[in-house]
A = this chain, B = another copy of it.
Amino acid sequence: MAAQTPGPQREIRRRNLSRVLYAVAQQGPSSRAAVATRLGLTRTAVSTLVDELLRGGLLTEQGPAPAAGGPGRPGTALALPDSGPCGLGAEIGVDHLAVCAIDLRGRVRARAEADSPGRDSVPDAVLTPLRELVDQVAARARELGLAPAALAVAVPGLVTRGTATVVRAPNLGWHGVDLTPPLAEAGAERDPLPLLVDNEANLGALAELWLSGGRVPRDFVHVSAEVGIGAAVVLDGALLRGHRGFAGEMGHMPVHPDGERCACGGRGCLEQYAGEPALLRAAGIPADGPRAAALAALRQSAASGCVRALDALGTAGGALGLALAGTVNLLDPRALVLGGVLARFAPWLLPSLERELRERTAAPGALPELLVSELGADGPLLGAAHTAVRVVLDDPLAYPAGRRG
Protein backbone atom coordinates (compact mmCIF):
# COMPACT_ATOMS: atom_id res chain seq x y z
CA MET A 1 0.00 0.00 0.00
CA ALA A 2 2.80 2.37 -0.88
CA ALA A 3 1.89 5.79 -2.16
CA GLN A 4 3.99 5.98 -5.29
CA THR A 5 1.22 6.59 -7.81
CA PRO A 6 0.46 10.24 -8.61
CA GLY A 7 -2.22 12.18 -6.70
CA PRO A 8 -5.41 11.82 -8.75
CA GLN A 9 -4.81 8.12 -9.50
CA ARG A 10 -4.05 7.43 -5.89
CA GLU A 11 -7.27 9.21 -4.96
CA ILE A 12 -9.32 7.05 -7.35
CA ARG A 13 -7.62 3.91 -6.01
CA ARG A 14 -8.24 4.99 -2.42
CA ARG A 15 -11.88 5.59 -3.21
CA ASN A 16 -12.34 2.23 -4.92
CA LEU A 17 -10.57 0.35 -2.13
CA SER A 18 -12.93 2.08 0.28
CA ARG A 19 -15.98 1.13 -1.79
CA VAL A 20 -14.90 -2.53 -1.75
CA LEU A 21 -14.57 -2.47 2.05
CA TYR A 22 -18.01 -0.84 2.50
CA ALA A 23 -19.56 -3.36 0.10
CA VAL A 24 -18.23 -6.26 2.18
CA ALA A 25 -19.18 -4.48 5.43
CA GLN A 26 -22.75 -4.05 4.24
CA GLN A 27 -23.27 -7.38 2.45
CA GLY A 28 -21.36 -9.61 4.84
CA PRO A 29 -19.02 -12.27 3.41
CA SER A 30 -19.16 -11.94 -0.37
CA SER A 31 -17.56 -13.32 -3.51
CA ARG A 32 -15.49 -11.06 -5.75
CA ALA A 33 -18.28 -11.38 -8.33
CA ALA A 34 -20.91 -10.15 -5.86
CA VAL A 35 -18.74 -7.16 -4.96
CA ALA A 36 -18.20 -6.38 -8.67
CA THR A 37 -21.93 -6.52 -9.33
CA ARG A 38 -22.74 -4.32 -6.40
CA LEU A 39 -20.18 -1.69 -7.33
CA GLY A 40 -20.68 -1.81 -11.09
CA LEU A 41 -16.94 -2.52 -11.60
CA THR A 42 -15.37 -5.27 -13.70
CA ARG A 43 -14.30 -8.50 -11.96
CA THR A 44 -10.73 -7.79 -13.03
CA ALA A 45 -10.77 -4.37 -11.40
CA VAL A 46 -12.30 -5.79 -8.23
CA SER A 47 -9.74 -8.63 -8.12
CA THR A 48 -6.88 -6.12 -8.25
CA LEU A 49 -8.43 -4.06 -5.45
CA VAL A 50 -9.17 -7.15 -3.38
CA ASP A 51 -5.61 -8.43 -3.75
CA GLU A 52 -4.31 -5.14 -2.43
CA LEU A 53 -6.70 -5.25 0.53
CA LEU A 54 -5.78 -8.90 1.26
CA ARG A 55 -2.08 -8.00 1.26
CA GLY A 56 -2.77 -5.08 3.59
CA GLY A 57 -4.75 -7.30 5.95
CA LEU A 58 -7.97 -5.29 5.54
CA LEU A 59 -9.78 -8.26 3.98
CA THR A 60 -9.54 -11.98 4.66
CA GLU A 61 -10.68 -15.03 2.71
CA GLN A 62 -13.05 -17.55 4.20
CA GLY A 63 -14.45 -20.84 2.83
CA PRO A 64 -16.46 -20.88 -0.41
CA ALA A 65 -18.67 -17.83 -0.93
CA PRO A 66 -22.44 -18.07 -1.17
CA ALA A 67 -23.32 -18.90 -4.80
CA ALA A 68 -22.98 -15.74 -6.84
CA GLY A 69 -25.49 -16.93 -9.41
CA GLY A 70 -23.08 -16.37 -12.30
CA PRO A 71 -20.70 -18.63 -14.23
CA GLY A 72 -17.04 -19.11 -13.34
CA ARG A 73 -15.18 -21.05 -10.65
CA PRO A 74 -16.65 -20.86 -7.15
CA GLY A 75 -14.77 -18.13 -5.30
CA THR A 76 -13.83 -17.94 -1.69
CA ALA A 77 -15.81 -15.51 0.44
CA LEU A 78 -14.24 -12.18 1.24
CA ALA A 79 -14.76 -10.95 4.78
CA LEU A 80 -13.55 -8.15 6.96
CA PRO A 81 -10.90 -9.36 9.40
CA ASP A 82 -11.43 -9.76 13.12
CA SER A 83 -7.88 -8.58 13.67
CA GLY A 84 -6.08 -5.52 12.37
CA PRO A 85 -7.35 -1.95 12.70
CA CYS A 86 -10.16 -1.28 15.15
CA GLY A 87 -12.12 1.78 16.21
CA LEU A 88 -12.31 3.17 19.73
CA GLY A 89 -15.51 4.86 20.84
CA ALA A 90 -15.98 6.79 24.07
CA GLU A 91 -18.96 8.39 25.70
CA ILE A 92 -18.87 11.18 28.26
CA GLY A 93 -22.20 11.02 30.06
CA VAL A 94 -23.28 13.34 32.82
CA ASP A 95 -22.69 10.61 35.41
CA HIS A 96 -20.94 7.83 33.55
CA LEU A 97 -18.08 7.15 31.18
CA ALA A 98 -17.96 4.31 28.68
CA VAL A 99 -15.38 3.17 26.15
CA CYS A 100 -15.42 0.31 23.67
CA ALA A 101 -13.35 -1.10 20.84
CA ILE A 102 -15.01 -2.56 17.76
CA ASP A 103 -13.32 -4.49 14.98
CA LEU A 104 -13.84 -3.86 11.28
CA ARG A 105 -16.72 -6.35 11.35
CA GLY A 106 -18.50 -4.03 13.76
CA ARG A 107 -18.33 -6.32 16.77
CA VAL A 108 -17.62 -4.97 20.23
CA ARG A 109 -14.37 -6.65 21.35
CA ALA A 110 -13.53 -4.74 24.50
CA ARG A 111 -15.49 -2.46 26.76
CA ALA A 112 -15.07 -0.60 30.04
CA GLU A 113 -17.26 1.74 32.05
CA ALA A 114 -16.89 3.94 35.08
CA ASP A 115 -18.87 6.43 37.11
CA SER A 116 -18.05 10.02 36.38
CA PRO A 117 -17.80 12.86 38.89
CA GLY A 118 -20.55 14.40 36.79
CA ARG A 119 -21.99 17.87 36.88
CA ASP A 120 -19.94 20.92 37.56
CA SER A 121 -16.68 19.10 37.98
CA VAL A 122 -13.60 20.55 36.31
CA PRO A 123 -12.99 18.99 32.90
CA ASP A 124 -9.81 17.23 34.03
CA ALA A 125 -11.75 15.35 36.73
CA VAL A 126 -13.67 13.74 33.88
CA LEU A 127 -11.04 13.61 31.16
CA THR A 128 -8.27 12.01 33.23
CA PRO A 129 -10.34 8.92 34.15
CA LEU A 130 -11.69 8.85 30.58
CA ARG A 131 -8.18 8.72 29.22
CA GLU A 132 -7.33 5.87 31.60
CA LEU A 133 -10.41 3.98 30.43
CA VAL A 134 -9.45 4.49 26.78
CA ASP A 135 -5.93 3.24 27.51
CA GLN A 136 -7.35 0.13 29.25
CA VAL A 137 -9.62 -0.71 26.36
CA ALA A 138 -6.86 -0.03 23.82
CA ALA A 139 -4.47 -2.32 25.70
CA ARG A 140 -7.08 -5.09 25.84
CA ALA A 141 -7.73 -4.62 22.09
CA ARG A 142 -4.01 -5.03 21.35
CA GLU A 143 -3.96 -8.26 23.36
CA LEU A 144 -6.70 -9.49 21.01
CA GLY A 145 -4.60 -8.69 17.92
CA LEU A 146 -6.34 -5.43 17.15
CA ALA A 147 -4.69 -2.09 16.38
CA PRO A 148 -6.64 0.98 17.52
CA ALA A 149 -6.79 3.30 14.52
CA ALA A 150 -8.93 6.23 15.68
CA LEU A 151 -10.83 7.50 18.72
CA ALA A 152 -14.26 9.14 18.54
CA VAL A 153 -15.84 10.73 21.61
CA ALA A 154 -19.53 11.46 22.25
CA VAL A 155 -20.19 14.46 24.48
CA PRO A 156 -23.44 15.86 25.91
CA GLY A 157 -22.87 19.31 24.46
CA LEU A 158 -22.26 21.47 21.43
CA VAL A 159 -19.10 20.88 19.45
CA THR A 160 -17.88 23.45 16.94
CA ARG A 161 -17.94 21.92 13.48
CA GLY A 162 -14.64 20.39 12.45
CA THR A 163 -12.99 20.83 15.87
CA ALA A 164 -12.59 18.89 19.14
CA THR A 165 -13.87 21.84 21.18
CA VAL A 166 -16.95 21.53 23.36
CA VAL A 167 -18.26 25.08 23.32
CA ARG A 168 -21.05 24.41 25.77
CA ALA A 169 -22.15 21.38 27.75
CA PRO A 170 -24.63 22.81 30.27
CA ASN A 171 -25.17 19.53 32.13
CA LEU A 172 -21.43 19.21 32.69
CA GLY A 173 -20.91 22.92 33.32
CA TRP A 174 -18.31 23.05 30.54
CA HIS A 175 -17.65 26.06 28.32
CA GLY A 176 -15.02 26.08 25.60
CA VAL A 177 -13.19 22.87 26.52
CA ASP A 178 -10.77 21.61 23.84
CA LEU A 179 -10.47 17.82 24.21
CA THR A 180 -7.33 17.62 22.07
CA PRO A 181 -4.69 18.26 24.75
CA PRO A 182 -6.10 15.93 27.45
CA LEU A 183 -6.93 13.13 24.98
CA ALA A 184 -4.10 13.59 22.46
CA GLU A 185 -2.34 10.39 23.53
CA ALA A 186 -5.38 8.41 24.66
CA GLY A 187 -5.27 4.86 23.33
CA ALA A 188 -2.04 5.46 21.40
CA GLU A 189 0.95 3.15 21.49
CA ARG A 190 3.25 5.39 19.48
CA ASP A 191 1.71 8.13 17.28
CA PRO A 192 -1.43 9.90 18.51
CA LEU A 193 -4.69 8.50 17.10
CA PRO A 194 -6.98 10.68 15.00
CA LEU A 195 -9.45 12.20 17.50
CA LEU A 196 -13.05 12.96 16.55
CA VAL A 197 -15.41 14.67 18.97
CA ASP A 198 -19.14 14.98 18.32
CA ASN A 199 -22.41 15.65 20.06
CA GLU A 200 -23.98 12.50 21.57
CA ALA A 201 -27.28 13.01 19.75
CA ASN A 202 -25.47 13.20 16.41
CA LEU A 203 -23.61 9.97 17.11
CA GLY A 204 -26.78 8.29 18.41
CA ALA A 205 -28.54 9.19 15.14
CA LEU A 206 -25.65 7.82 13.08
CA ALA A 207 -25.82 4.59 15.07
CA GLU A 208 -29.53 4.30 14.12
CA LEU A 209 -28.67 4.95 10.49
CA TRP A 210 -25.81 2.46 10.37
CA LEU A 211 -26.96 -0.29 12.74
CA SER A 212 -30.73 -0.61 12.36
CA GLY A 213 -30.39 -2.94 9.38
CA GLY A 214 -32.63 -0.74 7.25
CA ARG A 215 -35.44 -0.38 9.80
CA VAL A 216 -34.62 3.34 10.09
CA PRO A 217 -34.80 5.09 6.69
CA ARG A 218 -32.18 7.50 5.33
CA ASP A 219 -34.26 10.62 6.11
CA PHE A 220 -35.26 11.03 9.72
CA VAL A 221 -35.16 13.15 12.83
CA HIS A 222 -33.78 11.44 15.91
CA VAL A 223 -34.68 12.77 19.32
CA SER A 224 -33.21 11.33 22.46
CA ALA A 225 -32.98 12.19 26.11
CA GLU A 226 -30.38 11.51 28.72
CA VAL A 227 -30.15 14.33 31.21
CA GLY A 228 -30.70 16.83 28.42
CA ILE A 229 -32.62 16.41 25.21
CA GLY A 230 -30.81 16.29 21.92
CA ALA A 231 -31.85 15.71 18.38
CA ALA A 232 -30.25 15.13 15.04
CA VAL A 233 -31.51 15.56 11.51
CA VAL A 234 -30.39 13.00 8.91
CA LEU A 235 -31.08 13.88 5.26
CA ASP A 236 -30.42 11.35 2.53
CA GLY A 237 -28.08 9.42 4.81
CA ALA A 238 -26.04 12.44 5.91
CA LEU A 239 -26.12 14.28 9.21
CA LEU A 240 -27.24 17.91 9.03
CA ARG A 241 -24.61 19.69 11.11
CA GLY A 242 -25.63 23.30 10.65
CA HIS A 243 -23.46 26.28 9.88
CA ARG A 244 -21.49 26.21 13.13
CA GLY A 245 -22.11 22.55 13.95
CA PHE A 246 -24.93 23.30 16.41
CA ALA A 247 -27.96 21.85 14.59
CA GLY A 248 -30.28 19.55 16.54
CA GLU A 249 -30.78 21.60 19.73
CA MET A 250 -34.41 20.52 19.95
CA GLY A 251 -34.25 20.60 23.74
CA HIS A 252 -34.38 24.37 23.53
CA MET A 253 -37.19 24.72 21.04
CA PRO A 254 -39.79 26.85 22.86
CA VAL A 255 -42.93 24.80 23.48
CA HIS A 256 -44.69 26.89 26.14
CA PRO A 257 -43.22 30.37 25.51
CA ASP A 258 -44.31 31.81 28.85
CA GLY A 259 -43.37 28.69 30.79
CA GLU A 260 -40.51 27.62 33.02
CA ARG A 261 -37.17 29.44 32.94
CA CYS A 262 -34.42 27.38 31.35
CA ALA A 263 -30.67 27.44 31.95
CA CYS A 264 -30.18 28.44 28.30
CA GLY A 265 -31.71 31.84 29.01
CA GLY A 266 -35.03 31.05 27.36
CA ARG A 267 -38.41 30.10 28.78
CA GLY A 268 -40.57 27.05 28.26
CA CYS A 269 -37.96 25.06 26.37
CA LEU A 270 -38.82 21.43 25.59
CA GLU A 271 -36.19 20.30 28.11
CA GLN A 272 -38.24 21.92 30.90
CA TYR A 273 -41.08 19.46 30.22
CA ALA A 274 -39.52 16.35 28.72
CA GLY A 275 -35.96 16.39 30.08
CA GLU A 276 -35.11 13.79 32.70
CA PRO A 277 -34.95 16.16 35.71
CA ALA A 278 -38.29 17.77 34.76
CA LEU A 279 -39.87 14.37 34.29
CA LEU A 280 -38.66 13.04 37.64
CA ARG A 281 -39.70 16.23 39.42
CA ALA A 282 -43.18 16.13 37.91
CA ALA A 283 -43.50 12.48 38.88
CA GLY A 284 -42.40 13.24 42.45
CA ILE A 285 -39.32 11.05 42.28
CA PRO A 286 -36.18 12.38 44.00
CA ALA A 287 -33.42 12.99 41.49
CA ASP A 288 -30.52 13.46 43.88
CA GLY A 289 -29.42 9.80 43.93
CA PRO A 290 -28.08 7.71 41.05
CA ARG A 291 -29.91 8.30 37.75
CA ALA A 292 -30.43 4.61 37.10
CA ALA A 293 -32.34 4.15 40.37
CA ALA A 294 -34.54 7.18 39.78
CA LEU A 295 -35.38 6.05 36.24
CA ALA A 296 -36.17 2.54 37.47
CA ALA A 297 -38.50 4.04 40.07
CA LEU A 298 -40.25 6.12 37.41
CA ARG A 299 -40.65 3.09 35.23
CA GLN A 300 -42.12 1.08 38.07
CA SER A 301 -44.52 3.87 39.02
CA ALA A 302 -45.71 4.15 35.43
CA ALA A 303 -46.07 0.39 35.04
CA SER A 304 -48.10 0.18 38.24
CA GLY A 305 -50.44 2.92 37.01
CA CYS A 306 -49.41 5.69 39.42
CA VAL A 307 -51.43 8.70 38.24
CA ARG A 308 -48.73 11.23 39.03
CA ALA A 309 -46.11 9.33 37.01
CA LEU A 310 -48.52 8.83 34.12
CA ASP A 311 -49.42 12.53 34.16
CA ALA A 312 -45.75 13.49 34.13
CA LEU A 313 -45.08 11.21 31.16
CA GLY A 314 -48.22 12.46 29.39
CA THR A 315 -47.08 16.06 29.82
CA ALA A 316 -43.62 15.18 28.55
CA GLY A 317 -45.09 13.35 25.55
CA GLY A 318 -47.30 16.34 24.76
CA ALA A 319 -44.34 18.72 24.91
CA LEU A 320 -42.36 16.39 22.64
CA GLY A 321 -45.34 16.29 20.29
CA LEU A 322 -45.37 20.10 20.12
CA ALA A 323 -41.67 20.33 19.30
CA LEU A 324 -41.94 17.48 16.81
CA ALA A 325 -45.01 19.05 15.15
CA GLY A 326 -42.94 22.18 14.53
CA THR A 327 -40.12 19.99 13.24
CA VAL A 328 -42.37 17.98 10.93
CA ASN A 329 -43.99 21.15 9.55
CA LEU A 330 -40.56 22.56 8.85
CA LEU A 331 -38.69 19.50 7.53
CA ASP A 332 -41.25 16.88 6.40
CA PRO A 333 -39.00 13.99 7.43
CA ARG A 334 -39.75 10.40 6.47
CA ALA A 335 -39.50 9.12 10.04
CA LEU A 336 -39.11 10.22 13.65
CA VAL A 337 -36.99 8.05 15.94
CA LEU A 338 -37.16 8.19 19.74
CA GLY A 339 -33.92 7.17 21.44
CA GLY A 340 -32.22 6.99 24.82
CA VAL A 341 -34.48 7.43 27.84
CA LEU A 342 -37.34 8.39 25.49
CA ALA A 343 -37.23 4.92 23.93
CA ARG A 344 -37.45 3.33 27.38
CA PHE A 345 -40.58 5.32 28.28
CA ALA A 346 -42.11 5.29 24.80
CA PRO A 347 -45.27 3.35 25.76
CA TRP A 348 -46.29 6.17 28.10
CA LEU A 349 -45.03 9.08 25.99
CA LEU A 350 -46.46 8.07 22.64
CA PRO A 351 -50.22 8.61 23.15
CA SER A 352 -49.98 12.34 23.94
CA LEU A 353 -47.05 12.77 21.57
CA GLU A 354 -48.99 11.30 18.65
CA ARG A 355 -52.10 13.30 19.50
CA GLU A 356 -50.25 16.63 19.31
CA LEU A 357 -48.48 15.55 16.16
CA ARG A 358 -51.72 14.56 14.44
CA GLU A 359 -53.51 17.76 15.39
CA ARG A 360 -50.71 20.15 14.54
CA THR A 361 -49.15 19.01 11.31
CA ALA A 362 -50.43 21.04 8.43
CA ALA A 363 -49.71 18.72 5.53
CA PRO A 364 -52.37 16.16 4.64
CA GLY A 365 -51.79 12.44 4.49
CA ALA A 366 -49.74 10.11 6.62
CA LEU A 367 -47.54 11.42 9.40
CA PRO A 368 -43.89 10.43 9.38
CA GLU A 369 -43.26 6.92 10.61
CA LEU A 370 -42.76 6.96 14.40
CA LEU A 371 -40.00 4.55 15.40
CA VAL A 372 -38.55 3.63 18.78
CA SER A 373 -34.82 2.96 18.92
CA GLU A 374 -33.71 -0.58 19.65
CA LEU A 375 -30.17 0.41 20.64
CA GLY A 376 -31.03 1.26 24.25
CA ALA A 377 -28.65 3.62 25.98
CA ASP A 378 -25.72 2.47 23.83
CA GLY A 379 -26.50 4.49 20.68
CA PRO A 380 -23.98 7.32 21.16
CA LEU A 381 -21.18 4.94 22.26
CA LEU A 382 -21.74 2.65 19.27
CA GLY A 383 -22.09 5.62 16.94
CA ALA A 384 -18.72 6.89 18.19
CA ALA A 385 -16.98 3.52 17.77
CA HIS A 386 -18.40 3.06 14.25
CA THR A 387 -17.31 6.59 13.37
CA ALA A 388 -13.77 5.55 14.34
CA VAL A 389 -14.02 2.36 12.24
CA ARG A 390 -15.16 4.43 9.29
CA VAL A 391 -11.96 6.43 9.49
CA VAL A 392 -10.27 3.19 8.40
CA LEU A 393 -12.89 2.16 5.83
CA ASP A 394 -12.78 5.66 4.31
CA ASP A 395 -9.03 5.62 3.78
CA PRO A 396 -7.69 2.07 3.52
CA LEU A 397 -4.35 3.30 2.17
CA ALA A 398 -3.59 4.96 5.51
CA TYR A 399 -4.44 2.01 7.75
CA PRO A 400 -2.91 -1.25 6.59
CA ALA A 401 -3.24 -3.81 9.31
CA GLY A 402 0.51 -4.03 9.72
CA ARG A 403 0.77 -0.43 10.91
CA ARG A 404 -0.09 -0.08 14.54
CA GLY A 405 -1.22 3.19 16.15
The oligomer's copy count stands at 2
CB-defined contacts of A327 to chain B, threshold 8 Å: 330
Chain B residue at smallest Cβ distance from A247: B332
A243/B368 in contact, CB under 8 A: yes
CB-defined contacts of A330 to chain B, threshold 8 Å: 231, 233, 247-250, 253, 327, 330-331
**Contact of A322 with B257 at beta-carbon distance under 8 Å, contacts A362-B249, A363-B168, A365-B167 already known:** yes
Q: Does A333 contact B (CB under 8 A)?
A: yes
Partner of A361, one of B235, B240, B248, B252: B252
CB-defined contacts of A240 to chain B, threshold 8 Å: 235, 331
CB-defined contacts of A359 to chain B, threshold 8 Å: 265-267
CB-defined contacts of A267 to chain B, threshold 8 Å: 359-360
Q: Does A251 contact B (CB under 8 A)?
A: yes
How near does chain B come to A163, taking the closest CB pair, in angstroms? 13
Chain B residue at smallest Cβ distance from A334: B243
CB-defined contacts of A364 to chain B, threshold 8 Å: 158, 167-168, 175
Partner of A333, one of B158, B242, B251, B256: B242
**Contact of A266 with B325 at beta-carbon distance under 8 Å, contacts A235-B240, A330-B231 already known:** yes
**CA of A246 to CA of B328, assembled, Å:** 9
Q: Does A106 contact B (CB under 8 A)?
A: no
**Contact of A326 with B323 at beta-carbon distance under 8 Å, contacts A243-B219, A331-B240 already known:** yes
**CA of A395 to CA of B351, assembled, Å:** 50
B331/A242 in contact, CB under 8 A: yes
Q: Which residues of A in the span 226-258 have a Cβ within 8 Å of any Cβ on B?
A: 231, 233, 235, 240-257
Partner of A257, one of B158, B233, B255, B334: B255
B257/A256 in contact, CB under 8 A: yes
A322/B252 in contact, CB under 8 A: no
The 8 closest A-B pairs by CB, nearest first: A242-B332, A252-B362, A266-B360, A246-B363, A243-B334, A253-B326, A249-B329, A247-B332
CB pairs A–B below 8 angstroms (18 shown) = A158-B363, A167-B363, A231-B330, A240-B331, A242-B331, A244-B332, A244-B363, A248-B330, A249-B329, A249-B332, A252-B329, A252-B360, A253-B326, A257-B322, A264-B362, A269-B360, A323-B326, A326-B326
